[in-house]
Chain A
């Protein structure tokens, strides 16, 4: 009698997965557990932690009052999370609106041209992220490209303050993560049977309705994947908010960095990191669910 479970722990062929498994274990699972452990310890005065259980870091993240520390309700950190999420969501939605026509166009080309265009989409990845964010500083600052152009054309009399605004952060992240939107969208659109558009038209639907009723539902997996892939790195982004957001409006990424470096509050930084990771994980689960339902309706 063999014991059969839905997920047997050991199956033939799993040996090949061991190297990957250990790398994942050593470089992801263990550090994540360390961060988790630090987040529930007492803050050390000069950084580090005192090995004594203390959930106050989470209490501060969620803004709970603490009488011993004379703290009242304070939702400043939840506000930072909310604003970061808002900026990330806006980035993801703009990426979707901008990326969809691009992905559509690429998917409709012949194979040779497709390859070239996909390569061009991923080209920005070849430059360092820091360099790319700095480039945006040069473009957006008061004596930067855009302001100089507008001044010389006489459109404006005074330089606009473009840099150090949430809008600037969105633009920089949009640029940085647009390929993450285009690639999954491309994969979905390429699989789409273009003849279904004719069928929809034949049944009386115009372009708009065909897009909403046929094309969007059938490319939902790509849309969901793209949104998550842009939203997740934008949410905890450090470079763009720090360099282009100017640290005036704090976001989650810089908040974490500040907690570890400036404030030497490791438990708090760890707690912020854990909350962020949990939120990201929920996003991924949501995406997996959407993909599963989309596949269920197609198979």
Chain B
């Protein structure tokens, strides 16, 4: 029923989507071919990282995003020096970290549990690393005060850390790490213990801090919204490997794999078959009979297409659009948009976000359309 339409989508490289102000960056942490396995209490071996390689840019906010067990925290711990890789090497600022213990690395960590010393005051905690480094007492005081001002706790130095709220404790942990001016600041699920509102606040706070300090932040999170809002570079991880990396828009607008499409944001995934390859254009046909042409190279005959929910709209009159008809299964008002889950004749389901409060009844037929450019061909 649909005519064959050319699709102008090209493969975009990451660099094209960098913000215009960004100058070319150097690499601060180089992870190459790192593997790590752990033995579970039941004796089973678990491969946490599978020969992973990654370059982390200097002076940028990088996020490792993935579900629990994907190896993101393991990777952070290998960089911090709390675990040693079974194979591969971590290089920080050009120096191999092989055999270098955590206390000798130019990294500092904000732990998920904060790890504040309960027998010390706030200032005592922040001063700890400087005291270890043997810094002059007056200089320590000055830097501690400066760090506390940076995290907006200037008046709290004398307080016991146990008297602080969760959000304040996290700021203390941040101050304690940044006061040492590490080359890389590692953040392990820093917001996990905070409530939603505080989390939002801390996200922009972290972003601001990173900007002011100019040091590389490497943050581990399983929260895709957090990753997209804070980061310059998002690394999507799954089962010990990198699934995709890129700037946030890249990750969301151009997911490369089914996992990346599903894990970051919502997506409708539709199976399609290659029916014709001609002049660099590939013609695809979905299970529901829609046909479209893409300029992407599709080596396999079966492909998966991805459409983000906000790309759909209720079918209009534009003949160039891709159009599908299905039955409404569920509609959920999300505030601002209504999420529609529709069942297609092929048995696949489709998720669409329609503006405003749209109340179709269950089972009602619905025809949705999207621009051909909104359809992405995934690599797997």
* Nearest-neighbor residue (CB-CB) of B127 within chain A: A203
Q: How many residues of B contact A (CB 8 A)?
A: 26
**Chain A 161-216 residues near chain B, CB threshold 8 A:** 193, 195-196, 198-206, 209, 213-214
A293 to chain B, nearest CB (A): 10
A101 to chain B, nearest CB (A): 21
- Over the window 90-132 of chain B, the binary record of Cβ atoms lying under 8 Å from chain A Cβ atoms (1 yes, 0 no) is 0000000000011110011101010111111000000011001
A209 contacts which chain B residues (CB < 8 A)? 132
B119 & A297 in contact (Cβ 8 Å cutoff): yes
Secondary structure at the A interface, as helix, strand, loop or mixed, is: helix
Q: Is B237 an interface residue (CB 8 A)?
A: no
Q: Is A52 an interface residue (CB 8 A)?
A: no
Q: Is A158 an interface residue (CB 8 A)?
A: no
B132 & A195 in contact (Cβ 8 Å cutoff): no
- CA–CA, A203 to B120, complex, Å? 15
- Over the window 155-187 of chain B, the binary record of Cβ atoms lying under 8 Å from chain A Cβ atoms (1 yes, 0 no) is 000001010000000000000110010000000
B103 & A201 in contact (Cβ 8 Å cutoff): yes
A218 contacts which chain B residues (CB < 8 A)? 117-119
- A297-B160, A298-B162, A299-B162 in contact; A202/B119 too (CB < 8 A)? no
B119 & A200 in contact (Cβ 8 Å cutoff): no
Interface residues of A (CB under 8 A from B): 193, 195-196, 198-206, 209, 213-214, 217-218, 294, 297-299
- CA–CA, A201 to B113, complex, Å? 15
Interface residues of B (CB under 8 A from A): 80, 82, 101-104, 107-109, 111, 113, 115-120, 128-129, 132-133, 160, 162, 176-177, 180
B103 & A202 in contact (Cβ 8 Å cutoff): yes
Choose from A193, A202, A206 the contact partner of B80 (Cβ within 8 Å): A202
B115 & A196 in contact (Cβ 8 Å cutoff): yes
- CA–CA, A202 to B109, complex, Å? 7
- A195-B111, A214-B117, A218-B119 in contact; A202/B102 too (CB < 8 A)? yes
A selection of 19 A-B contacts at a CB cut-off of 8 Å is: A195-B113, A196-B115, A198-B102, A198-B115, A199-B117, A200-B117, A201-B102, A202-B107, A202-B115, A203-B128, A203-B177, A205-B129, A206-B101, A213-B128, A218-B118, A297-B118, A297-B120, A297-B160, A297-B162
For chains A and B in complex, what number of residue pairs have CB atoms within 8 angstroms?
A: 70
B118 & A199 in contact (Cβ 8 Å cutoff): no
A204 & B129 in contact (Cβ 8 Å cutoff): yes
B175 to chain A, nearest CB (A): 12
* Nearest-neighbor residue (CB-CB) of A205 within chain B: B132
B188 to chain A, nearest CB (A): 11
B109 contacts which chain A residues (CB < 8 A)? 199, 202
B108 contacts which chain A residues (CB < 8 A)? 202-203
B160 to chain A, nearest CB (A): 7
A198 & B128 in contact (Cβ 8 Å cutoff): no
A198 & B111 in contact (Cβ 8 Å cutoff): yes
- A195-B111, A198-B111, A298-B162 in contact; A206/B117 too (CB < 8 A)? no
B102 contacts which chain A residues (CB < 8 A)? 198, 201-202
- CA–CA, A193 to B115, complex, Å? 9
Most chain B CB inside 10 Å of its own CB: which residue of A199, A200, A217, A298? A199
A110 to chain B, nearest CB (A): 9
* Nearest-neighbor residue (CB-CB) of A217 within chain B: B119
B162 & A204 in contact (Cβ 8 Å cutoff): no
B162 & A203 in contact (Cβ 8 Å cutoff): no
* Nearest-neighbor residue (CB-CB) of B186 within chain A: A202
B176 & A203 in contact (Cβ 8 Å cutoff): yes
- CA–CA, A203 to B104, complex, Å? 9
B185 to chain A, nearest CB (A): 11
A223 to chain B, nearest CB (A): 13
B119 contacts which chain A residues (CB < 8 A)? 214, 217-218, 294, 297-298
- CA–CA, A231 to B180, complex, Å? 43
B117 & A196 in contact (Cβ 8 Å cutoff): yes
11 new A-B contacts, CB < 8 A, other than A201-B103, A204-B133, are A195-B111, A195-B115, A198-B102, A202-B115, A203-B103, A203-B128, A203-B129, A204-B180, A206-B103, A213-B128, A297-B160
A203 contacts which chain B residues (CB < 8 A)? 103, 108, 128-129, 132, 176-177, 180
